[in-house]
Amino acid sequence: MPSSLYKYPKQVCSSPSTPKTLEQDMAVYSINFLLLLLPLALSPLCLAFPHGAPFLYPQFYDHSCPKAHQIVQSIVAKAVAKEARMAASLLRLHFHDCFVKGCDASILLDSSQGIVSEKGSIPNRNSIRGFEVIDEIKSALEKECPRTVSCADILALAARDSTVLAGGPFWEVPLGRRDSLGASIQGSNRNIPAPNNTLPTIITKFKLQGLDIVDLVTLLGSHTIGFSRCTSFRQRLYNQTGNGLPDFTLDGGYAARLRAGCPRSGGDQNLFPTDFVSPARFDNFYFKNLLVGKGLLSSDEILFTGSPETRRLVELYAADAGAFFAQFVKSIVKMGNITPLTGSKGEIRYNCRKIN
Ligand code: HEM
Ligand SMILES: *[C@@H]1O[C@H](CO)[C@@H](O)[C@H](O)[C@H]1NC(C)=O
Ligand SMILES: *[C@@H]1O[C@H](CO)[C@@H](O)[C@H](O)[C@H]1NC(C)=O
């Protein structure tokens, strides 16, 4: 998309107000004449997209809610200061939203008549978190500019702010997503990869979302922050392939330490960092750990052991944090562009947990 398109404010679609007296009319005639040319120059966009552009752009709220970015950032910063892990939880929310019906805030809906919440799906149950922070952001935004900022855009902005607060790269977030009128627990179960999926299965699940192998390896670098429950990787510690042996790609000493906190049975909810070196820091230690058999999830280590193509990327990012960051901003914008609702589709929810 040409970046010049970003500059077109939505407001140019409405006509400028007319002065009331002839005197005023004369005084502003020449400037009005120039102002008339502006909408004319921009009108192709308005004519082509009378209900708003069918694509996302970073300046979407510049006129309708200029403080939106600042409000999201300050509430995310407060939440992360209180609990560092919240940065990881908010980043993951955006991912689990986008992989189900697109980035449309479907994950935020609670169950009600006609809606079975995605919060109860296998990947989300007892695991996904951060909803209270999103609620706090939404109510602050409803006070500042009612019915304007979508819950789906809040998720995208909160994911970016979380990444930056954890020491990761900044990117401009394309905006203008609208909120879904439903949820899909089947989609949540089907589309979000499981930690014991094979590499070909994981690659296929990303491909179905329009994401390639570079996007996969890069986005999985998000596991440089946050935590996993014992239940998500226990299989690797005791009986990876059904022969009663641990995953041979897992470092022995690291496996022994993990078994101490993740017994054969019980302790399902015990938490372990997905990057044991720097769990609150968005850096490239996740990739460095994979090189030495210290990836936590099977789906993490498999990036290094599963194919030459993914291995080369792991090696590149382990050696060059700058290369990881530069690709991360591209891949996460791509993920954020998965089939958004735009124009007059969907709605702007008042409350992220329910449809209006
Ligand atoms: C093959 C793909 C992926 C798999 C199998 C996977 C799996 C998991 C699992 C099992 C957990 C721990 C959940 C728990 O036990 O409670 C987790 C946590 C996390 N995932 Fe992923 N994930 C994948 C891709 C991604 C992507 C693409 C992102 C972000 C763009 C992401 C961000 C996170 C974050 C930040 C956490 C920590 C959340 C927290 O501490 O609250 N993951 N993931
Ligand atoms: C993956 O884990 C799930 C849930 O623990 C389990 O039901 C399934 O059998 C595992 N799949 C494989 C291939 O090990
Ligand atoms: C490992 O898993 C296989 C197949 O799931 C099962 O038959 C076997 O009893 C397990 N072995 C141990 C030691 O748990």
- CA 120 vs CA 35, 57, 124, 127, 185: distances in Å: 53, 32, 6, 10, 7
Pocket test for ligand 1, best of 95, 121, 282 (most atoms within 8 A of CB): 95
Measure the N-to-C terminal CA separation of the chain; round to a whole number of Å.
Answer: 33
Q: Which atom of ligand 2 is nearest to the CA of 197?
A: 13
Give the C-alpha separation, 217 to 210, whole Å: 14
CATH class of 68-190: mainly alpha
**How confident is the model at residue 171, as a pLDDT?**
98
Q: Which atom of ligand 3 is nearest to the CA of 239?
A: 1
Q: Which atom of ligand 1 is nearest to the CA of 197?
A: 5
CATH class of 211-336: mainly alpha
- CA 126 vs CA 120, 123, 129, 213: distances in Å: 8, 9, 8, 29
The Cβ of residue 31 has, within 10 Å, a number of other Cβ atoms equal to: 9
Residues 6+ apart with CB under 8 A from 108: 97, 131, 134, 151, 155, 352, 353
Give the C-alpha separation, 230 to 195, whole Å: 12
Opening angle at CA 142, ends 141 and 146, nearest 5: 115
Characterize the bridge pairing of strands 227-229 and 271-273. Answer: antiparallel
Report CA(248)–ligand 2 centroid distance (Å).
17
118-122: list long-range contacts, CB under 8 Å, 24+ apart: 118/183, 118/184, 118/185, 118/187, 118/188, 120/185, 121/185, 121/188, 121/189, 121/192, 122/188, 122/189, 122/194
Is 179 within any annotated ligand binding site?
no
Is 118 within any annotated ligand binding site?
yes
Question: Is the Cβ atom of 198 under 6 angstroms away from ligand 2?
Answer: no
Question: Is the Cβ atom of 196 under 6 angstroms away from ligand 2?
Answer: yes
Ligand 1 binding pocket, CB closer than 6 Å = 85, 88-89, 91-92, 95, 127, 129, 193-195, 202, 219-220, 222-223, 225-229, 232, 297, 299
Question: What is the pTM assigned to this prediction?
Answer: 0.90
Instruction: Say if residues 124 and 138 touch (Cβ distance below 8 Å).
Output: no
Instruction: Say if residues 120 and 111 touch (Cβ distance below 8 Å).
Output: yes
Give the C-alpha separation, 132 to 38, whole Å: 43
* Ligand that lies nearest to the alpha carbon of residue 206, given by its number in the listed order: 1
Q: Which atom of ligand 3 is nearest to the CA of 264?
A: 14
Q: Where exactly are the structural domains of the chain?
A: 68-190, 211-336
Domains 68-190 and 211-336 share a fold: no
Is 224 within any annotated ligand binding site?
yes
- CA 343 vs CA 155, 250, 338: distances in Å: 19, 48, 15
Give the C-alpha separation, 343 to 349, whole Å: 15
Q: Which residues are catalytic?
A: 96
Give the C-alpha separation, 194 to 201, whole Å: 9
Report CA(256)–ligand 1 centroid distance (Å).
23
Instruction: Say if residues 20 and 62 touch (Cβ distance below 8 Å).
Output: no
**pLDDT tens-place values along the chain, 356 residues long:** 333 333 333 333 433 333 334 444 444 444 343 344 444 444 455 567 777 788 999 999 999 999 999 999 999 999 999 999 999 999 999 999 999 999 999 999 999 989 999 999 999 999 999 999 999 999 999 999 999 999 999 999 999 999 999 999 999 999 999 999 999 999 999 999 999 999 999 999 999 999 999 999 999 999 999 999 999 999 999 999 999 999 999 999 999 999 999 999 999 999 999 999 999 999 999 999 999 999 999 999 999 999 999 999 999 999 999 999 999 999 999 999 999 999 999 999 999 999 99
Would you say how long the chain is, in residues? 356
Give the C-alpha separation, 79 to 73, whole Å: 10
Is 320 within any annotated ligand binding site?
no
Give the C-alpha separation, 226 to 125, whole Å: 17
Give the C-alpha separation, 259 to 265, whole Å: 11
The closest residue, in CA terms, to atom 3 on ligand 2 is: 196
